[in-house]
C-alpha cells in the first residue's frame, strides 16, 4: 500500500493538451474516482500513473518513489481494464497465476495467492474452467483477481464495468467496494457513471476538457458543486439551472421571483444562474408558492418526476411516487431559500458567502 502524488502533471499530443497541470494527493488506502464525460482526460491521467502514457511535464510519486520515468512493470501497480483480456486457452487458475509465474515466484506462494484471491472473489469453484465457460461478471472478477494476486501498491481500474448489464454492474460495484474494504489498498477508478462514483469513492475528482473542476467527498460535490458544470453533471435527475438576475433581495427570472436568504452572496442587478435539485423543490401551499403546470410526468417506480413550467420557467420536480400525477395538472411549488445554489453567469463559478 502507498500514497500516490501527482504534481503539475501535464499531457500534450503535439499542440493538443489532454491534461492540464493535474495536482492530487491520494492517501494510502483511499478510493479515488476520476469522473467526467468522454474525452475529459480521466483515462489519460490513469494511464500516466500506470506508466502506459509518458507525461509531458510534472511528476508522479508512489509511496516514497519517484516513478515518473519508470516502466509500468517497475511501479508495482495492478490495472484492470474495461476489456477482461483473459487468456482463452488457459484455465481460471492459470490466468490468475500467469503473471506471478512470469516473475518466477515460488510455486507454493503462487498457489497461496491464487486461492486467497479466488476465495475473496467467489471463484473457488471456477478455477478449473476456461473463460468461455464464465459469465461477464465472473470474467470481470477473474480480471480483478489477476490484479489482486500481485499485492500491488495501487489498483488502477479503467471503466471496468462498462461491458456489463445494469444488474451485473450493481453486483460488481458491491464486489469492488467489499474488496477495497478487505485489502485496504489505494484504488484509482475511472468512470463516466456518476452512480459508480457516488457509491464507491472516498473522494471524487471531476474533470472536464483536461481540467480538474472539483475534488471532494461524494456528498460534498453533491451538496456544494463548485461550478455550473459540476452542478449539471452530478445528480440524476439533474439540477434545475435557471438564468436570471438579482433584484431587491430576490432572484428574478421571467415571472418567477424567489426571495433569497439573508447574507446571500449576490449583488443587486447581478446576472446569475440559480440552481435547485428536483427533489428539493417544495410541493404544496407554502409561503411564496407558485403554480406549476405539469407537461410530462415520468414514473420512476418509487418516485415521480414531473416536468413543466412555473411562472414561465421550465422546472423538474421530483416527489414520492404519485399514481395520479399527469400532464396538464397543476401543483403549487416553492423554492426554499436554504436549498438554493447561486452561480455567476459570467464565469459559471459558485457564489459563496464572504465574497469581496
Examine residue 211 and state whether it is found in any structural domain, yes or no: no
Count of domains for the chain:
1
Quick check: pTM over 0.85? Answer: yes
Examine residue 295 and state whether it is found in any structural domain, yes or no: yes
| Cell output for 304 | 415521480
| Size of the chain, expressed as the number of residues it contains | 356
Decide: helix, strand or coil at residue 59.
strand
Mean residue pLDDT across the chain? 92
Examine residue 330 and state whether it is found in any structural domain, yes or no: yes
What's residue 266's pLDDT? 84
Q: How many separate helices (H) and strands (E) can be counted in the chain? A: 8, 20
Residue 316's Cβ-side half-sphere holds a number of Cα atoms within 13 Å equal to: 19
Tell me the residue range of the domain where 251 lies.
237-344
What's residue 264's pLDDT? 84
Q: Per-residue pLDDT averaged across 258-266, rounded?
A: 87
Instruction: Tell me the β-bridge partners of 203.
Output: 32
What's residue 356's pLDDT? 47
| Cell output for 190 | 475511472
112-142 pLDDT, tens digit per residue, is 999 999 998 889 999 999 999 998 888 988 9
* 342 Cβ contact partners less than 8 Å away, ≥ 6 residues apart: 251, 260, 264, 265, 266, 272, 273, 274, 275, 350, 351
What's residue 258's pLDDT? 94
Pairwise pLDDT comparison (254 vs 4), residue with the higher score: 4
187-206 pLDDT, tens digit per residue, is 999 999 999 999 999 999 99
Examine residue 100 and state whether it is found in any structural domain, yes or no: no
pLDDT at position 153 over 90: yes
What's residue 344's pLDDT? 95
Q: Per-residue pLDDT averaged across 86-99, rounded?
A: 92
Measured distance CA(148)–CA(161) in Å, rounded: 17
pLDDT at position 355 over 60: no
Examine residue 354 and state whether it is found in any structural domain, yes or no: no
* 294 Cβ contact partners less than 8 Å away, ≥ 6 residues apart: 306, 307, 308, 325, 326, 327, 328, 329, 330, 331
Examine residue 261 and state whether it is found in any structural domain, yes or no: yes
Instruction: Tell me the β-bridge partners of 16.
Output: 13
pLDDT at position 354 over 70: no
54-90 pLDDT, tens digit per residue, is 999 999 999 999 999 999 989 999 999 888 788 999 9
pLDDT at position 353 over 80: no
Examine residue 256 and state whether it is found in any structural domain, yes or no: yes
Examine residue 318 and state whether it is found in any structural domain, yes or no: yes
What's residue 169's pLDDT? 86
Q: Per-residue pLDDT averaged across 236-264, rounded?
A: 92
What's residue 335's pLDDT? 95
* 147 Cβ contact partners less than 8 Å away, ≥ 6 residues apart: 78, 79, 80, 155
The CATH number given to whatever domain includes residue 314 is: 2.40.50.140
Amino acid at each position: 500500500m502507498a500514497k500516490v502524488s501527482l504534481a503539475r502533471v501535464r499531457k500534450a499530443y503535439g499542440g493538443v493538451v489532454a491534461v492540464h497541470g493535474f495536482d492530487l494527493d491520494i492517501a494510502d488506502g483511499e478510493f479515488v474516482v476520476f469522473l467526467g464525460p468522454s474525452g475529459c482526460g480521466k483515462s489519460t491521467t490513469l494511464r500516466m500513473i500506470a506508466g502506459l502514457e509518458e507525461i509531458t511535464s510534472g511528476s508522479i510519486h508512489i509511496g516514497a518513489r519517484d516513478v515518473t520515468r519508470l516502466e509500468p512493470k517497475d511501479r508495482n501497480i495492478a490495472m484492470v481494464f474495461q476489456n477482461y483480456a483473459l487468456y482463452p486457452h488457459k484455465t481460471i487458475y492459470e490466468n490468475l497465476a500467469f503473471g506471478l509465474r512470469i516473475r518466477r515466484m515460488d510455486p507454493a506462494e503462487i498457489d497461496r495467492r491464487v486461492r486467497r484471491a479466488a476465495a475473496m472473489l467467489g471463484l473457488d469453484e471456477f478455477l478449473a474452467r476456461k473463460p468461455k465457460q464464465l459469465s461477464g461478471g465472473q470474467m470481470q472478477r477473474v480480471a480483478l483477481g489477476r490484479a489482486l494476486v500481485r499485492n500491488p501498491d495501487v489498483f488502477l481500474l479503467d471503466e471496468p464495468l462498462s461491458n456489463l448489464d445494469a444488474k451485473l454492474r450493481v453486483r460488481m460495484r458491491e464486489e469492488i467496494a467489499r474488496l477495497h474494504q478487505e485489502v485496504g489498498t489505494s484504488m484509482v477508478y475511472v468512470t463516466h457513471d456518476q452512480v459508480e462514483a457516488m457509491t464507491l469513492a472516498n473522494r471524487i475528482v471531476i474533470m472536464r476538457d483536461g481540467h480538474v473542476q472539483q475534488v471532494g467527498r461524494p456528498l460534498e460535490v453533491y451538496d456544494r458543486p463548485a461550478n455550473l458544470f459540476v452542478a449539471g453533471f452530478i445528480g440524476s435527475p439533474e439540477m434545475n439551472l435557471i438564468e436570471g438576475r438579482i433584484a431587491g433581495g430576490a432572484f428574478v427570472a421571467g415571472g418567477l421571483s424567489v426571495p433569497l436568504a439573508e447574507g446571500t452572496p449576490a449583488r443587486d442587478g447581478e446576472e446569475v444562474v440559480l440552481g435547485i435539485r428536483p427533489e428539493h423543490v417544495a410541493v404544496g401551499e407554502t409561503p411564496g408558492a407558485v403554480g406549476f403546470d405539469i407537461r410530462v410526468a415520468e414514473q420512476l417506480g418509487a418516485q415521480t418526476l414531473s416536468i413543466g413550467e412555473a411562472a414561465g420557467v421550465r422546472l423538474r420536480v421530483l416527489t414520492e411516487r404519485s399514481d395520479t400525477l399527469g400532464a396538464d395538472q397543476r401543483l403549487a411549488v416553492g423554492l426554499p431559500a436554504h436549498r438554493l445554489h447561486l452561480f455567476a453567469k459570467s464565469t459559471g463559478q459558485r457564489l459563496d458567502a464572504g465574497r469581496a
